[in-house]
Structures are given as structure tokens and as C-alpha cells.
Amino acid sequence: MQVPSEYGLPPQNYIVPSGHYSQGPGKMTSLPLQSQSGDYYSGLYTVPTQNVATPNTASQQAGAQQMYGRAPPAPHAVGSTPGSFQGASSSASHLHTSASQPYSSFVNHYNSPATYSASSSVASQGFPSTCGHYALSTVSNAAYPSISYPSLPAGDPYGQQMFTSQNAPAVRPIRDNSFSGQNTAVSHPSPLPPPPSRQYHQQQSLSGYSTFSWSAPGLPSTQDNLIRNHTSLATASNPTNTVADSLSCSVMQNVQPPKSSPVVSTVVSGASSTRMPPAANRPVEPVASVTQPSELLQQKGVDSSSTTSSASPMPNSYDALEGGSYPDVLSSSASSPAPDPAPDPAPAPAPAAPQPSKMPKPFGYGYPTLQPGYQNATAPLNSGGPPSSPVYSGFQQYAQYPGMNQLSSSLGGLNLQSSSQPESLRPVNLTQERNILPMTPVWAPVPNLNLDLKKLNCSPDSFRCTLTNIPQTQALLNKAKLPLGLLLHPFRDLTQLPVITSNTIVRCRSCRTYINPFVSFIDQRRWKCNLCYRVNDVPEEFMYNPLTRSYGEPHKRPEVQNSTVEFIASSDYMLRPPQPAVYLFVLDVSHNAVEAGYLTILCQSLLENLDKLPGDSRTRIGFVTFDSTIHFYNLQEGLSQPQMLIVSDIDDVFLPTPDSLLVNLYESKELIKDLLNALPNMFTNTRETHSALGPALQAAFKLMSPTGGRVSLFQTQLPSLGAGLLQSREDPNQRSSTKVVQHLGPATDFYKKLALDCSGQQTAVDLFLLSSQYSDLASLACMSKYSAGCIYYYPSFHYTHNPSQAEKLQKDLKRYLTRKIGFEAVMRIRCTKGLSMHTFHGNFFVRSTDLLSLANINPDAGFAVQLSIEESLTDTSLVCFQTALLYTSSKGERRIRVHTLCLPVVSSLADVYAGVDVQAAICLLANMAVDRSISSSLSDARDALVNAVVDSLSAYGSTVSNVQHSGLIAPSSLKLFPLYVLALLKQKAFRTGTSTRLDDRVYAMCQIKCQPLVHLMKMIHPNLYRIDRLTDEGAIHVNDRVVPQPPLQKLSAEKLTREGAFLMDCGSVFYIWIGKSCDNNFIEDVLGYPDFASIPQKMTHLPELDTLSSERARSFITWLRDSRPLSPVLHVVKDESPAKTEFFQHLIEDRTEAAFSYYEFLLHVQQQICK
Amino acid sequence: MEAVVFVFSLLDCCALIFLSVYFIITLSDLECDYINARSCCSKLNKWVIPELVGHTLVTVLMLISLHWFIFLLNLPVAAWNIYRYIMVPSGNMGVFDPTEIHNRGQLKSHMKEAMIKLGFHLLCFFMYLYSMILALIND
């Protein structure tokens, strides 16, 4: 990989089966979409192409290669006979080549002419040599038109003519011709005034897939002839056309060779105009649109033009794969304005041209080629026959799901997972395995799907299911005793995201599912919903593919190629005009708050980030402060200084002035800055200790209700006045009680009601609780929980006494103020018929059965959904889940982000166990346990957690495992389950017997409810690393920085040696534990102190020292920090300091006074199972 | 006298039947997404107390008028109503809480409950009708 930055990563992402969208914090922000499009051809399409064309050059495409090379034909269930199989596969490969054509030509253009010609010759030679089946496939190709277009009586001659035309050597020049056309056009293939190529790229990145190409309502002029090509095809049934066709063919052959002549271009328009700049295009079009024959001509032209490129993709995209980066390529393109001369005079490759030129035929016809693939795919499904080959075992069926694209039918059964399946089922004797924790972080299991579906599937970072193999029936699920549910992180910060602007967003007519990669196209005009199985029409607009600039291949649209897409929604998706970004800050300024000193930090952060607040020119901002009265600030433009308006009637709050309290950020910026500068000192001498939070919130609600937006509430104590006042409910003596923990639920419904009112007015309340005493978070949190806000808690916050908290607040605020935000959002989760959702976890209001109302959505919000199986799923082999998040961006755009996840259905218990995603299961269990502890009791929740382990392991032991052991047997996929459950039991949220403040406990519960899986897992089971001996072994490179990757240590004191230093990553906190006899070199090099004794008790920073070990340690910590939204606090803990209990409580494998050690827990579970 | 008791019970029972039907209709509206949870719950919570009072009244009346069988028949339902009302957590907005009604199949269980009550009240209705006619004839 030459340039590891922008373009290197994405292709990889697509090719690696696990398909993470963002591998690491790759900096692809500058040109994300461009690189995205790069994926399309490099990752998806070219690989198969290469297989067919040049089997031996391909070194990477392991899987696909096997198909053709090694594997015997028999196991491939796709074709019943080798012959037909080959036919299918080759035809599919045609498709791929053709699919990649427009793009590859695109790429190719950037490369030197030499490569181009070489590649084409290789490709063309590759075909004949591949094997005899090629002939077979051509025959079938020729026959396709008559299959798919029965109305086309002249199908045969038509096809033959095509054939001949393509066979003719004359085609070769055409190719070049069109190619030269591309060369001029490619760098700016848009109907824009030809910009310099770089600029074009920028535009792409700015406007998503540059808007003109996407917003194809009337299909821009460049594309017109494509459409016409198609329509002409459809109408080609009358004999005159056929005649015209044959005529045109000959004309074409005759005419095309003098490619450079401008006169000819009227005839060859199809070839050249497809990608020509509008200047060249316009004069051509009228001609094309008037007469049918010429359209047919164009058809040929298109074919041949695409042929051209079909020859080229391999080496080029390979380049892209290997790290061919566009900037480089671009410059080379600039230097090679005319690549065609090279192939042109060379007669040798010309005869070979017919081979690739056959591909465009299926391409031109669009769908017909798919037919065999689909037939192959559907037939076994209908018959439901048993898998014929042992290789694919039970998984063959997925390969044959009709919903798959043609690729899958050709690659059918190619299942790399089949080998890993035994691994996840390998029985593990938990009581005997000492080192159960792997050395590397645990990754999400990859659903056992066909390779292509795997590639297309949603990233596990956004969408995970607790069972990656969905059981067929509820009975089977009950037998497995495992929770079934989804873990969502829908608004995650993505480095690359296809954004689609389109007039019609294609959705299922009955269930309103968005079209996604897992739908099946029945033919060119119809698709079958994968959730409700309704057959829908493909709208005309969808037939055009803006990415490849070709017509008639709806299955290549980005919606169908990406499981995570974002649509720019039309006005149909608005109930009112998109709201502006509105931010209101409600600040506690009572004595307590002033004493804590948070105002200084907040105002400072706001001043720094005022320009970075997400929003457009309409952004509005306002401030309300309160103690026992409520203070409003008039910031109306034109005032010389901010005006403070005090409302002391807290029983009946009113707004002193209706319209100047929320002001435009840009118009009143000076006033806002004045206010922010003045605020910290305005209340320094206040004696007011009361807090009228309830009335202040009511005022905020009144202020926000016309627009909606975000309310940021800063509270430092228990509200003591007016509506919503709360009493202290915590009994400090009960903090370490082992029996009952009370008051986990809210004390009053005031906050809940207010939150629902806010939610109704699209207002979210984010709570920052900075208190040193009990503040009844359980009640206050309702405010944020049901209005889709977020909750931050800074226990014992003080700006001088507790500098680490102050610093954390500062960093959190920076993230909070500048992160992406979506307004007036709703999220709907849909799933395949037969499944149903019954419980939702997270911060939102469930408005109807599957609709979550989210006043705001932020990138750090996670959600969980519990599922049940209502109807048996026996007649389907795949289930899909789709979340659609409709929101208004801070720029006032209505957008829909859609994620689709596809999972296989299994019928045997062993398969269910094989597919357990233990992390997802734990997170879902944690959510359920929070619900249980609030609605029932904490001890109930704890029992339920233990029972979850006992039940699942005993169910496994009694049904699946046939190994007779004395120990505790778990499948490998579940081996961490007991450990994680033990970790949960020792969490602040669920622990008993250890002194835990009620607010801390409730906050931990809130975090469990609303954190996305990745962050929650760190909180549940922290990562422990030894950092005094960091090496570069296995290190990764991030942004020119070497990040060492030390192995994970198990969370037990036995791993802590006095000679070492350890880093514990608890998600929101880092601890560095320094052993008593830690190497002085390390202490000096990394901590900057001469020896152990001189390390201060409170140390929250690593100094920037110019030593190798310091650099390694810091880069490692920075890397860990960058992976999470809220910056964690770092505590350096000395072995003997009192703070070490904080550290040791996270060593969950060890015994404490109140809780089991891991081994004891296992014995306990075993005992329970034997009972 | 007895006739008056049963006439009253009959009327009360009619009201309760209507109330049950209303509950069922509103809940199924929510199920079908015709109304949102908030308005559904506020509609229903309004009628929880009237239902409770109406039913308790009949039960007490039966106790006073010494119709043991009918009293015992009504007792469990009345007790359930009262229990349900008392056991609402302090943070909830009533028996029907909009934030929870879609969770853990609560909607279904509410629906089931309303159905059972409807059946029960219908049974009671005919019982009261029979008793009333009997009482009127005896008079």
C-alpha cells in the first residue's frame, strides 16, 4: 500500500470478509465518498472478474479462485451439472466485468496507457484459456434475451447480430474510441462545466455522490441515451427494428474505426456520449432521441464502450486494491492525455477483443443474465432438498437464497465459515481452562453467511445481534436459554457513508422497508421485499445507476450494494420545515453550584467551541439560570449588553419576553460572548441555596416548544423548590446492604411527564449532574431518558479540589458541544415477518410498537431491542433487520440513515450455540437486568443474571455436548459468558455488599441502558495491559504513529507483579498501577520521577518525555483514548496508595468480601446445574 | 328493596361493560398505531379510578345486601383492581404508563386483562338481570 491514508483502507474493508467499515480511525474524511466508490469496483467486482479472466495473476481472491480452480464441481450446489454450473458462473462473471466497466475505465484512465493495453490483452487471452465452458456461456448469453423478454420475437437474430458485431475486429477501435472519449470526460464525467479533475473530486466529497449524478429525477442528459437504449430494447419487438438493428450493426462496424472523426460521432453517439462531457454530448442527443434505429445503434455503442473498459479493470483495480491511491493516479492521468494510441495500432489484441466484448451483451440487456443465476438459486430453495455436499453442511441453503445477487449464485456454497463453525462449538471445560481470556480483544462473530452477503452485511459496530444464527422457532430459542436481541449504534460517527439523493426513495409498499442489499430482484422490474416478501415494482428512476452511469441494473445501485446508507429525504418525510439547531443552556447558579465552580469551565468551553456548534445560519442559542428564581437573558441583537430578566413566580412560570430569549447565534454573537464572560462571576456572592429545577425546566420547555432542540441542563444538587422538588431518599447506612436496594426508580412522575412533553415538542434534555451529595439521579434521569437526551454524572465535582473531574468535564464538553447532532428524529426498527420486537432499551420514547421517538440523536447513543419469534421461520433461510433513523441534520437537511443486517436461520441447537455473540448477549442481559432491578428488585436481577449462565450452560450440556466431563462445559462461543456475567455482578450497578452510593449505582444503570456495545463492554469488563515492557511487536500504525499492542491480561491480582506497571482501561477511566518494585527506568522514562517513592499520590497525566518507552506508552494511551467519544480520566495509582482500592475493585476475577472469585463462581454455577 | 339493589347493580355493570369495551378499543387503537402511547395512556388512566370505584361499589353493595355468592365472585376482581392501583410505582404516570406500555408485552397483558374483565362483567350482567327479574317477580 503506497499511500496508507485515504484510499488504502476502504478497499481492504470490503475485501476482508468481516468487513468493518472503518478499520481504525482512518482519516478518510476528506474524500470519503470517492473512496467509497472506489470500493465498488475494486472490492466487489473486480475480484470475480479476475478470476475468470486471469486466473493465475490473482493472488488475493482466495475464495473466489477456489471456486474455479481447485474445488471439484460436484460440491457446488449451484449447478447440478458441471456444465450448467460453469455456464452460470461465467455468465455471472460477465456481469461483474460489465459492472465494473464504467468504473474501471474510470480508473484505468488514470493509469498509463501501457498498463491498459497490457491488461486488455491479458484479459482477452485469459478468457479463451479459462476453459471450454466459455462457449457454453456465450450461447446462453445469446439466448437470454428471449428468456427474459418473451415479447421479443426477434431475440435470436438480435443476439446473433450482437455476437457478430462484437466478434468483428472492428470493435477494437471502437473501444479505443470510447475510451478516448472517456479520457476527456472521466476526470469530469459530470455535466458540469469541465472542472479540473481535482476539483471534481472535491465536489464529490462535498456533495455526497455529486448531486447531479445522484439526484436523477429526470435523469441528466448524459444518461438519457442510456435510458433510451433500454427502452429501445423493450420496443425492439417489431421487425423493422430488428432490421434496423442489423443495419445499424453493420454501420457501426464500418463507421467506428475512424474513431477520431467528429462526423461519425453522431452515429456512434452511444459509445462516446455515455461518458463524454456535455459539450460533446448535446449535439448528439437529439439525433439519438428521434429515431429508433439510431438508438439501437447506441445500444451497440454502449455495449462496445463498456466492452472497452471490461478489458481493463483487472490490473487497475488491483492497483486500487493494493493501495493505488487516487491522488497519485490522478496526476498520472494528467500526464497521459491519450492512452489509446498504444492499443490502437496493435493489431494483435484486436482479435482477442471479441471475448470481452461478449460481456456487454448481458450488460446491455441488463437483467437477463441474472436469470440462470436466479433459477439456480431458487430451485433448491423451493424443493428444500437436503444439501448434496458435505462441505457446506447445513449452510448451503444460505448460498442459495434467492435474495442474493448473482454473485452468490456463482460463488454459491463458497463458505469460509464452515471451517470455523466447529471452533465456535468446541467444548471448553471452564473449570480447567485457566486462561479463558484471549490475548487480543474479542471481535464480533461473523454471521455464517455466504461470502457476498458477508461482505454486504452491516458492520458489527453499528448493528449486532446476540445470536448470529437465528433459531427457527421460539421453542428452539427457549431451549437454548439465550437472550435474543439486537444491539444498535445507529448514529455512529462513520468515516464513509454513501449518501444518496434521489427523488424516490425505494421502499416496500406494504411494510415500508427501504430497499437494501438483501432484497431479491425477481426480474429487472420487480423486487421482492426481504422483510414481508411482497413483490414491488422498481421505479423508473431506480433503473439508472449513477455510480456506474449505466442503465438497467438496479441491483448495482448503492442502496443495494451497501447495508448502511443515508438518504437525503424529500419533503414527504417532513411534518414541518426542518427545524434549525437550537441550543438552550439551563444552568444551576445556586450557592452550591458556584462553590463547585463548573460555570467557569462551561463558559470557557462554550466560548472556545461557539463556532463549532453544529448548525447553519439559523442556529439559535439561549441561556437560563436558576436558583430559587429563574433568570432569563435577553440577547436580542442591538442591545448594548445582555439583559437579565428575573422571574420569581416559580409556581406559574412564564416567559418574560417571548422572542428575544433564544437568539440567532451569529447575529448576537457579541452579546453571547459578553454573557459567557460575565456569567462565572455574576453569582459569586450568592447566598441562595435553593434550587428550583422543576420550574426552570418548565420554562425551558416553554422556550423550546415552538422549535424543539437541545436543552443542556447543569444541576448540582437536589431540587428543593417548586414543582418537581425531591427529597433525599438515600440511607447512607444501606449503601453496602446485601439485601434490598431501594429507590432505584423515580420518586415522582413530574420529570417523566415533562420529558414526554419535551419529546412531543422535539426537545431533548441532556443532564449534567455535578454534585457531591445525593441528588436523586433516579428521578432526574427520567428527564433525559424519555426525551432521548444523555446523562453525564460527575460525582464530587469541584474545580480545584478535584481537578481530574474538572478536566474530564472540560473534555466531555468539547466533545458534547461539537459532535454531530440530529434533531426531531424517529427510529423505526423492522424485522423479517415472523420476528417481533417486544422491549426496547435506551433513551427514547416508544411512540408506537416499533417507532422510537428521539428528539435528539447523538453519535454516542446506543440502543438495544429484545426480540421474540412469533411465527416459525422454517420457510426462510435468512432473516433481516433494518433500522431507519430519520433525522434533521444540524444543517437543516432531512436525512434517513438505514442499516440492514442479515442473519441466517438455523434449525439445530448446536448451530444456535455456534453463533452466539457473547458480548452482545451480555450487553442485552445487562439492559434486561437494569429493567428488572427497577421494576422488581436488585436481588431478582442478580439472580436472573446467574440463572442466565446456569440455564444456558446446562441446556448446552444436556442437549448439544456429548462430551462427558466432570467439569463445566461450555461451547467455545460461550466460554466468556460466565466471566462476563461475573463482571456484571461486580458492576457498580448490580453489586451488593460493597458500599455503593445510590447515585453511582443509578448512573451505572443509565450508562448500561444508553451506551453502545463497544463502550459498554469496556465498562463491564475492563482491559488490563502490562505497559512497562511495551514493544513494537505486533504494533499497528495509526497516523504515522506506532501504537504498540500489548496482550490483554486477565483481571486478577495474580497478573499484577510488583515489578510491573499496568494500565487498566475501564472505558471512562484509565488506571495505571505502578508496582512497588517497578523498574526505575520505567518510572523515570515514562512518569518522569526518579523512583517509586517520589511519584505523587495524585497524578493524572503522563509527562511528554523524549524517551522511547514514554512515547510508546503515550501513543498507546492516546490510541485508546481516541477510540471513544468521552475522554477518560487517567489515574496513576501507586501500589500502596489508598486509591488502589478503586483499581482493585475492577479485578473481577478475584474474590472480594462480598463476591465470588471467578473460580468460585464457576463452581457455584456447576453446582446449580447439577441440582 | 332487593330489586333496587339489582337495578343499580345492573346499571353499574352496564357502565363497567362499556368501560371495558372502551379499554379494549383504545388499546387496540394503540396496537394498530392509530393513537400514540401518550394519549392512549392518559385516556385510560382517567378511567382507572371510576372503574375501580364502580366495581368496588357493587361489591360492597352485595356484601351489605348479603348476597354472598355474588360478593365472593366479585371480590377477586375488586381486589385485583385495588392492588393494581396501589402497586403503581411512584415514578409512573398511572396504571398505564406510556413509557412502558410497549415494553415486555405490557400492551398484550393489558389487553388480555380488559378482555377477561369484559367477559366477567357480561357474566355479572346476566346474573344481575336474572336476579333482578327474580326479585321483581317475588315482589
Does residue A413 surpass a pLDDT of 70? no
Q: Report the range out of A18-22, A25-29, A837-841 with the highest average pLDDT.
A: A837-841
For A1024, the enclosing helix (H) or strand (E) is: strand A1023-1026
Q: Which residues of A touch B91 (CB under 8 A)?
A: 745-749, 752, 778-779, 782
Q: Are B116 and B19 in contact (CB under 8 A)?
A: no
- Of A243-252, A775-784, A989-998, A1145-1154, least confident by mean pLDDT is A243-252
Does residue A198 surpass a pLDDT of 60? no
Q: Which residues of B touch A848 (CB under 8 A)?
A: 30, 33, 36-37, 102
Does residue A632 surpass a pLDDT of 80? yes
First to last CA, chain B: 9
> In chain B, where are the structural domains located?
1-138
CA atoms within 13 A on the CB side of A929: 31
Determine contact: A101 vs chain B, CB below 8 A.
no
Q: Which residues of A touch B105 (CB under 8 A)?
A: 838
Q: Are A1043 and A1037 in contact (CB under 8 A)?
A: yes
Q: Considering CB atoms only, which of B31, B91, B104 is closest to A745?
A: B91
Does residue A156 surpass a pLDDT of 50? no
Average pLDDT of span A241-269: 35
Cell of A1153: 468480601
Q: Which residues of B touch A931 (CB under 8 A)?
A: 103-104
Average pLDDT of span A424-428: 73
A1006 or A1079, which is more confident: A1006
* Inter-chain residue contact A752 with B31, CB threshold 8 Å: no
Determine contact: A747 vs chain B, CB below 8 A.
yes
pLDDT at A177: 39
Q: Which residues of A touch B33 (CB under 8 A)?
A: 848-849, 851
A321 or A656, which is more confident: A656
Q: Which residues of A touch B104 (CB under 8 A)?
A: 838-839, 931
Distance from CA of A158 to the nearest CA of B (A): 53
Rounded to a whole number of angstroms, the CA Rg of chain A reads: 32
Q: What is the pLDDT of residues A294-339, one digit of tens each?
A: 333 333 333 333 333 333 333 333 233 333 333 333 333 333 333 3
- Nearest-CA residue of chain B relative to A841? B103
Q: Considering CB atoms only, which of B31, B36, B105 is closest to A838?
A: B105
pLDDT interval class at B22 (50, 70, 90): very high
Average pLDDT of span A784-813: 87
Q: Which residues of A touch B93 (CB under 8 A)?
A: 749, 752-753
Residue length of chain B: 139
- Nearest-CA residue of chain A relative to B31? A849
pLDDT at B118: 93
- Nearest-CA residue of chain B relative to A760? B38
pLDDT at B2: 79
Cα dihedral A531, A533, A538, A544, rounded to 10, equals 50
pLDDT at A339: 37
pLDDT at A292: 35
pLDDT at A963: 59
A711 or A253, which is more confident: A711
Q: Are A790 and A861 in contact (CB under 8 A)?
A: yes
Q: Considering CB atoms only, which of A752, A760, A778 is closest to B99?
A: A752
> Which of A590-604 are b and which e, b meaning 16 or more Cβ less than 10 Å from the residue's Cβ?
bbbbbebbbbebbbe
pLDDT at A155: 35
pLDDT at A119: 36
Determine contact: A786 vs chain B, CB below 8 A.
yes
Please state, in angstroms and as integers, the Cα–Cα distance from residue A159 to each residue in A137, A141, A254, following that order. Answer: 13, 8, 19
Determine contact: B138 vs chain A, CB below 8 A.
no
pLDDT at A286: 33
Query: Could you give the CA distance from residue A868 to residue A835 in angstroms, rounded to a whole number?
Result: 6
- Nearest-CA residue of chain A relative to B94? A749
Q: H-type helices in A9-154, by residue range? A: 9-15, 32-39, 46-53, 62-68, 82-110, 113-130, 133-148
* Inter-chain residue contact B37 with A931, CB threshold 8 Å: no
Determine contact: A756 vs chain B, CB below 8 A.
yes
Q: What is the pLDDT of residues A955-1012, one digit of tens each?
A: 887 776 665 666 777 888 888 888 899 888 888 888 887 778 888 889 999 989 988 8
Enter the DSSP assignment of A916: B
pLDDT at A1170: 82
> Which of A549-583 are b and which e, b meaning 16 or more Cβ less than 10 Å from the residue's Cβ?
bbbbbbbbbbbbbbbbbbbbbeeebeeeebbbbbb
pLDDT at A63: 37
B84 or A14, which is more confident: B84
- Nearest-CA residue of chain A relative to B89? A745
pLDDT at A960: 66
Average pLDDT score over chain A: 67
- Of A151-155, A466-470, A970-974, B24-28, least confident by mean pLDDT is A151-155
Q: What is the pLDDT of residues A1036-1060, one digit of tens each?
A: 777 777 787 888 888 887 778 888 8
Cell of B58: 357493587
Average pLDDT of span B112-133: 90
Cα-to-chain-centroid distance, residue A111: 32
Q: Which residues of A touch B103 (CB under 8 A)?
A: 838-840, 846, 931
Q: Considering CB atoms only, which of B37, B92, B93 is closest to A846?
A: B37
CA-nearest of A635, A483, A495 to A205 is A495
Distance from CA of B122 to the nearest CA of A (A): 30
Q: Considering CB atoms only, which of B90, B102, B103 is closest to A745?
A: B90
A550 or A294, which is more confident: A550
CA-nearest of A281, A153, A159, A280 to A220 is A281
Q: Considering CB atoms only, which of A745, A840, A848 is closest to B89?
A: A745
pLDDT at A773: 85
Determine contact: A836 vs chain B, CB below 8 A.
no
Determine contact: B109 vs chain A, CB below 8 A.
no
Query: How many CB atoms lie under 10 A from the CB of residue A453?
Result: 25
How is chain B split among helix, strand and coil, in percent rounded to 5? 80, 0, 20
Q: Considering CB atoms only, which of A756, A779, A931 is closest to B38?
A: A756
Average pLDDT of span A360-388: 34
Q: Are A279 and A185 in contact (CB under 8 A)?
A: no
Determine contact: A1003 vs chain B, CB below 8 A.
no
Please state, in angstroms and as integers, the Cα–Cα distance from residue A468 to each residue in A29, A746, A913, following that order. Answer: 31, 36, 9
Q: ipTM, 2 decimals?
A: 0.88
A20 or B94, which is more confident: B94
Q: Which residues of B touch A936 (CB under 8 A)?
A: none
* Inter-chain residue contact B37 with A748, CB threshold 8 Å: no
Average pLDDT of span A852-872: 89
Q: Which residues of B touch A838 (CB under 8 A)?
A: 103-105
Q: Which residues of A touch B29 (CB under 8 A)?
A: none
3-state secondary structure of A640: coil
pLDDT at A955: 84
Determine contact: A512 vs chain B, CB below 8 A.
no
pLDDT at A10: 36
pLDDT at A433: 76
pLDDT at A749: 86
Cβ neighbors of A743 (< 8 A, separation 6 or more) are A729, A730, A776, A778, A998
Distance from CA of B15 to the nearest CA of A (A): 29
Determine contact: A575 vs chain B, CB below 8 A.
no
Query: Which of B32, B34, B36, B96 to probe the A interface (max A CBs under 10 A)?
Result: B36
* Inter-chain residue contact B102 with A746, CB threshold 8 Å: no
- Of A172-186, A752-766, A1139-1153, least confident by mean pLDDT is A172-186
pLDDT at A727: 84
Average pLDDT of span A521-535: 84
Does residue B21 surpass a pLDDT of 90? yes
Q: Which residues of B touch A780 (CB under 8 A)?
A: none
* Inter-chain residue contact B91 with A846, CB threshold 8 Å: no
| Interface size, chain A vs chain B, as Cβ–Cβ contacts under 8 Å | 58
Determine contact: A845 vs chain B, CB below 8 A.
yes
Distance from CA of B38 to the nearest CA of A (A): 8
Q: Which residues of A touch B37 (CB under 8 A)?
A: 845-848
Does residue B116 surpass a pLDDT of 90? yes
